[in-house]
Structure 1
Amino acid sequence: MAKFYDLLTTELQNFIEAQHIFFVASAPNDGRVNLSPKGMDALRVVNESEIAYLDLTGSGNETAAHLLENGRVTIMLCSFTEKPLILRLYGQGEPIRPRDAAWQEYLSLFPAIAGTRQIVRVKVESVQTSCGFAVPFYEFSGDRQILKEWAEKKGEEGVYEYWEKNNQQSIDGLPTRLLE
């Protein structure tokens, strides 16, 4: 049975902090829905109504473009271990970039990871849990280091050039404002 909450309870906050993977869904007003898996110790509970995640360099920058257009975002986490649970966080998100006043405050919540592009702050409006009885068991064996190694090898200038070429607009043509 699905259950809704207005805020993140202590139990749900603990569940979030124990997960190694989460999924981010966003969509423009008109265009493709984007769903991305995330990992690398990049999600933080800020308080009972706010979370933030470290957004690392990727092939696209869909979520940032969608958030700039309408702010809508859903974060989903699910248990792959003994106790089944699916947790969805519905809210309004915004990208925080190095040029923004809140950057240092939010960056301090995360480990330093090469290729960090922005931080996404989400004001949680609604929380839903559901059973997760059909989610299979999986064991976490470690984070992939490929993205981190790629960014370290490229260096700051090379990553910036990659952003200029690949992260300035969504696949539907919306601006990301990454480098403004």
Structure 2
Amino acid sequence: MAKQFERIEPAHREMMGRQAIFFVGSSAGDSRVNISPRSTTHFHVLGDLSVAYLDLTGSGSETAAHAKAGGRATVMFCTFDSAPQILRLYGRPRIDFRGSEAYAAFLAEHYPNGEPVGARQVVTIDLDLVQTSCGFAVPLFEHVGERPVLDRWAEAKGEEGLVAYRREKNTVSIDGLPTGLDEA
């Protein structure tokens, strides 16, 4: 049932564009595999073999650590409210932290009204495989809306509080791998 593609096809872009959530999994070496749900609000298809998302401040920064260690990442979309389908994007992640030229360029291109509250880095994944599968076992769900909790938390922390939080919580992974944040 699975079908592999060398690049993101127009039908894949359309499918991703209809979703409200995606999942990103990453790992490096013997590290734990991390899987996180993300809103598609900050997901961007950059080309046929490249995707990126603006990553908001959170309790960990596993994907950054895995990228720094030369690890891999998989992005997964699945339909919850229409014909069943799963789409996986496989590749190698790289991180552009706040303050870097690449981060500023990404914001200028995709966020002309300014940086979203709580933003900490851009995760870009250079793809080497795109795969679809049936998704027949994925249950039907209805999207109700976005949760405002993270934005409110980031606003309450303020810029200085977010910088301090990232220094405390986002410089190493749960396995002790450096994220590179303290080098940025």
1:143 aligns with 2:146: yes
**Inter-partner Cα distance in structure 1 for 2:178 and 2:93:** 16
Q: Is the 8 A contact 2:43 2:52 kept in 1?
A: yes
Superposed displacement of residue 102, structure 1? 1.3
**Inter-partner Cα distance in structure 1 for 2:19 and 2:110:** 16
Helix, strand or coil for the counterpart of 2:181? coil
Q: TM-score, normalised by structure 1?
A: 0.96
Superposed displacement of residue 124, structure 1? 1.1
Superposed displacement of residue 42, structure 1? 1.4
Corresponding residue for 2:182? Answer: 179
Superposed displacement of residue 98, structure 1? 2.2
Corresponding residue for 1:39? Answer: 39
1:12 aligns with 2:15: no
Superposed displacement of residue 40, structure 1? 5.4
1:160 aligns with 2:160: no
- Greater shift in the superposed pair: 151-160 or 9-18: 9-18
Q: Is the 8 A contact 1:16 1:45 kept in 2?
A: no
2:128 to 125, 140, 145: 125
**Inter-partner Cα distance in structure 2 for 1:71 and 1:93:** 7
**Inter-partner Cα distance in structure 1 for 2:90 and 2:40:** 22
Q: 1:126 to 1:177 in 2, by over 3 A?
A: same
**Inter-partner Cα distance in structure 1 for 2:133 and 2:78:** 9
Once the two structures are superposed, the pairs formed by residues 71-110 of structure 1 within 5 Å of their partners are 71-107=71-107, 108-110=109-111
Q: 1:5 to 1:27 in 2, by over 3 A?
A: same
- Greater shift in the superposed pair: 59-68 or 95-104: 95-104
Cα root mean square deviation, aligned: 1.2
Q: Is the 8 A contact 1:17 1:43 kept in 2?
A: no
Helix, strand or coil for the counterpart of 1:150? helix
Q: Is the 8 A contact 2:29 2:71 kept in 1?
A: no
1:28 aligns with 2:28: yes
Alpha-carbon displacement from aligned partner over 1:31-88 (angstroms, at most 9, x marks no partner): 2110111115011111111100111111111110001101411000100012110000
**Inter-partner Cα distance in structure 2 for 1:135 and 1:40:** 19
Helix, strand or coil for the counterpart of 1:45? strand
- Greater shift in the superposed pair: 40-49 or 71-80: 40-49
Q: Any unmatched runs of 5+ in structure 2?
A: none
**Bigger share in helix:** 2
Helix, strand or coil for the counterpart of 1:149? helix
Q: Is the 8 A contact 2:27 2:71 kept in 1?
A: no
Q: Any unmatched runs of 5+ in structure 1?
A: none
**Inter-partner Cα distance in structure 2 for 1:151 and 1:72:** 29
**Inter-partner Cα distance in structure 2 for 1:179 and 1:113:** 21
Identity %: 46
Helix, strand or coil for the counterpart of 1:151? helix
**Inter-partner Cα distance in structure 2 for 1:88 and 1:35:** 13
Structure 1 residue runs of 4+, over 3 Å off?
Answer: none
Q: 1:40 to 1:147 in 2, by over 3 A?
A: farther
Q: TM-score, normalised by structure 2?
A: 0.94
